Amino acid sequence: MSTNFPIGWVLRASTVGFAVGCRLLQPNTPHFGDLVKVALQPDEIDIFGLIYDVQVKDDPAVRQLILAGEMEPEAIMDQRENRLVPIEISVLVVGYQQNGFMIQGLPPQPPLSLNIIMVSDEADLRTFTENLDYLRLILNARQIPVDELLVANIRRATFAHPPEQQYAFLLKVGRELARLLNHDLVRLEGILRRIKPVVSR
Amino acid sequence: MINQNLNELDQFFPRAATRQLGMVISGSLSKGVEVKLFPEAPVESIAVGRYIVIEGLQLQFFGMITDVTLDNTNPQFEKTPPDVSDPFLREVYASSSTFGRLHVSPMLVLDDKNEEPRPVKTVPSHFSLVRLATEEDVNLVFGQEDETHFHIGEPLDMEDVRVHLDLTRMVERSVGVFGKSGTGKSFLTRLLLAGVIQRHAAVALIFDMHNDYGWEIQSEGHYKVKGLKQLFPQQVAIFTIDEESSLRRRVRPDFVVKLNWTEIQPEDLETLRTTLDLSDNMIGTAYTLRRSWGDKWIRKLLTAEKYELDELVENSSINRSSLDALSRRLERLERFEFLQENWAGDSAKKIIEYIDKGTSVVLEFGRYGNSLEAYILVANYLTRRIHQMYVERVERALGDAAHEPRQLMIVIEEAHKFLDPQVARQTIFGIIARELRKYNVTLLVVDQRPSGIDEEVMSQIGTRVTALLDNERDLNAVFMGVSGANALREVLARLDTKQQALIMGHAVPMPVVIQTRLYDSDFYAAMGFQEPEELRGTRNDRVTMMRGAVEEGID
Ligand SMILES: Nc1ncnc2c1ncn2[C@@H]1O[C@H](COP(=O)(O)OP(=O)(O)OP(=O)(O)O)[C@@H](O)[C@H]1O
Ligand SMILES: [Mg+2]
């Protein structure tokens, strides 16, 4: 995963988040916690978000197959590759880039239907995580598995750094989380335990 | 925004090698400021008593760390400490949720326009950065050695910086040297006096109770150190009231002090009130006796026949029992050989003669050093006479400095015996302490129990040099009238048991804890002393021997 590549198109959107539809799941992507990017063409704004949910919805063909009970491998393959309803990926908006400035906050406008969604590469991830204000956006999100998302995203971001910088990065994240979660030490400890480096320095 | 400020600061105050320690988070002028330590500054490396510089927006503040505490962002950390068995978690907590805190007393303001540091009148603004003071900062505060500035020691943890006392200011007011027994009071006093004598800041009259100042002094480590007469043979004379003892120690005294019984006046007994256990009635009796019998009253009382006393009681208001009690008390003075009946000289005049020539006088007490009565009696009598002459001459000079007598500093030990609240009001030492420099006489008092000194006198002691003290009341006494005293108490209570002292007051720009300068052959050399030829070869051996011994002594 070293270059940006498209995973789907915007289905529905709002300023705080959007849904992405895609035809099929690649083996490695998209992943829970991945940083994705939508380029809004005329304004040259890139909107960044984190994947927090992937839903594979049923459709009449699947129901029929299940009721028929006989599943030929070809039928299963065909059903997976030529779906009637797209796979739906939910994204939490965490920032945008405009005129070269990275801002961790909500963009002035949401993306539009059928804008293309790309998965960010490691360089993008490193640039984005130079600033950790987005952690607060995650923590404040409603009705999504916040702690899981946080942990998954931090893991990804850590591995986007060269090994000798990973500990320092984690420490920086840990301190920011300690600041943000100062009111809830049990939760803080839970998260720290899960992001802690496997082999520390 | 903050980053921009940091950069500006860097431009104005190049940081050199010093690291930022933390930032100001709260405080007040009266109580001092609170500094939150940055995670990179380890609490354990920061000691009370260290100097710091606070970079305010417009001013630079110079201050001292007076307390170090641990704090956290959530009190829950104290009740249920987190699991820190994992090094990562530990490091995260240690560098964010928990932190060290310094209590700092700002003492001076250094600003670019003004060379001289000034006393603080405000506090640095929020979030001002705090760093350890560099040698340059400290040197700026304590000045360079010059005609009036005398090197007395180094600030703790800063071996290459020197603290200088302003001797001229020091001798203008009374000085106190305090500390428990064995903490280095006599050594400190000798250092101060050496400075005063070498720089001609004043002439000293030293009532040397334990033969600590004149000649070869036995130190605890069984080596000998030089006395003031050895360092300044031209400027110091040794007087003694115990010639035998002086000769035994191979001191050739310049003069043997004797007193005639007739010279002792009831006024001199006032100071002995506690030591001789004299009541008001007995002192009253003494005054009456002098009135009826004149100068010879003591001898007459001690040699009177019973019928003479009966007669006296009959013809005056004197109470018989007071008279007998007084007589019994005064009998104790009979064993003092320096009190004589036919002595025609004038010891006080002799001292003045030397003082007028600019020669300091060390008066050795020899074996009488163990007798407080002798010490107080002689010191009181001589001081009373000398002060009287000073007052007359100053008044005659009518403000013409050229005709005024030289600045005189009188050194007494066990000062609380002279200056306890019961006697301080009437006695000559109390008077000198209170009248300030009006008559060019000040005191240097050496004492291990400052709480015994009258408060009013204490408040007049301009420079206080204090080695370790641990008694609560003594600490209170030493800090009386000092602003920010509470903070300094912490520092004082933590001094080493030897060779460290807190200096505050008139002679220093701000209170300072020093490692006292070593009183050794380097010091002798700095005072201009030349080793006699035949000793030179062994000098280094002796230096190492001395240093070794000194270190052993510190426990
Ligand atoms: N500046 C110094 N240089 C070298 N040695 C020192 C110095 N200060 C103190 N000492 C050592 O500490 C010992 C005790 O010092 P000192 O005799 O001055 O104590 P003190 O307070 O006068 O005691 P006391 O109350 O018994 O008179 C000295 O004998 C000497 O060994
Ligand atoms: Mg002593």
Instruction: Give chain B positions within 8 Å (CB) of A175.
Output: 39, 92, 95-96
Q: Which two tokens stand for residue A198?
A: 């496997």
How close is the Cα of B513 to the center of ligand 2, in Å? 20
The C-alpha atoms of residue A113 and residue A9 are separated, in whole angstroms, by 7
Count of beta carbons in the 10 Å neighbourhood of residue A163? 9
What pLDDT does residue B552 have? Answer: 43
Q: What is the DSSP string of B442-466?
A: EEEEEES-GGGS-HHHHHTEEEEEE
**What is the number of CB-based contacts under 8 A between chain A and chain B?**
49
What pLDDT does residue B436 have? Answer: 62
What pLDDT does residue B161 have? Answer: 83
Helix (H, G, I), strand (E, B), or coil: what is residue B119?
strand
B163 contacts B508 by C-beta, under 8 angstroms:
yes
What value of ipTM does the predicted structure carry?
A: 0.86
B96, A183: Cβ pair inside 8 Å? no
Pick from A86, A180, A83: which is nearest to A141 by CA? Answer: A180
Ion ligand 2: residue ranges with CB closer than 5 A: B 185-186
Q: Is the CB of B515 under 6 A from ligand 1?
A: no
- Pairing relationship of beta strands B20-28 and A116-119 according to DSSP bridges: unpaired
Helix (H, G, I), strand (E, B), or coil: what is residue A197?
coil
Q: Which of left, alpha, beta for B250 (phi over 0: left; psi -120 to 50: alpha)?
A: left
Quote the DSSP letter at residue B537. Answer: G
Please enumerate in sequence order all residues whose Cβ is within 8 A of that of B237, keeping only pairs 6 or more positions apart, or say none. B229, B254, B255, B354, B359, B360, B361, B362
Please enumerate in sequence order all residues whose Cβ is within 8 A of that of A74, keeping only pairs 6 or more positions apart, or say none. none
- Which is it for the CA torsion B112, B118, B124, B129, positive or negative? positive
Q: Which residue has the higher pLDDT, A70 or A119?
A: A119
What pLDDT does residue B319 have? Answer: 82
Of these ranges, A182-196, B261-275, B521-535, the one predicted with the greatest mean pLDDT is A182-196
Instruction: Give chain A positions within 8 Å (CB) of B97.
Output: 178, 182, 185
pLDDT confidence of A28, banded at 50, 70, 90? low
pLDDT confidence of B15, banded at 50, 70, 90? very low
A189, B82: Cβ pair inside 8 Å? yes
The C-alpha atoms of residue B464 and residue B478 are separated, in whole angstroms, by 7
Mean confidence (pLDDT) of chain B: 83
The structure tokens 């002459």 sit at: B389
Strand partners, A53: A90
Summarize the confidence of residues B415-424 as an average pLDDT.
81
Quote the DSSP letter at residue B196. Answer: H
What pLDDT does residue B549 have? Answer: 46
What pLDDT does residue A180 have? Answer: 94
B474 contacts B178 by C-beta, under 8 angstroms:
yes
Q: Is B86 on the interface with A (CB under 8 A)?
A: yes
Q: How far is CA B458 from the centre of its chain?
A: 12
The C-alpha atoms of residue A99 and residue A92 are separated, in whole angstroms, by 22
Q: Is the CB of B543 under 6 A from ligand 1?
A: no
% of chain A with per-residue pLDDT over 70: 95
Q: Buried b vs exposed e over B316-328: b needs ≥16 C-beta within 10 Å? A: eebeeebbebbbe
Which alpha helices (H) appear in chain A, and where do they start and end? 60-68, 73-81, 122-128, 134-140, 146-159, 163-180, 185-195
Per residue in B302-328, pLDDT tens? Answer: 887 888 778 777 877 878 888 888 888
Supply the Cα-derived Rg of chain B in whole angstroms. Answer: 28
Instruction: Give chain A positions within 8 Å (CB) of B3.
Output: none
Instruction: Give chain B positions within 8 Å (CB) of A182.
Output: 73-74, 97
Using a 10 angstrom Cβ sphere, with 0-12 exposed, 13-18 middle and 19 or more buried, the burial of residue B372 is: middle
What pLDDT does residue A10 have? Answer: 94
Per residue in A92-144, pLDDT tens? Answer: 999 999 988 999 999 999 999 889 999 988 999 999 999 999 999 999 998 89
Of B39, B74, B91, the CB nearest to A185: B74
Of these ranges, A175-179, B373-377, B426-430, the one predicted with the greatest mean pLDDT is A175-179
The C-alpha atoms of residue B51 and residue B135 are separated, in whole angstroms, by 10
Please enumerate in sequence order all residues whose Cβ is within 8 A of that of B169, keeping only pairs 6 or more positions apart, or say none. B148, B462, B463, B506, B507
What pLDDT does residue B541 have? Answer: 54
- Pairing relationship of beta strands B118-119 and B98-110 according to DSSP bridges: antiparallel
Q: Which two tokens stand for residue B500?
A: 């460290």
> In chain A, what are the domain boundaries?
5-198
A193, B89: Cβ pair inside 8 Å? yes
**Closest Cα in chain B, distance from residue A43 (Å):** 28
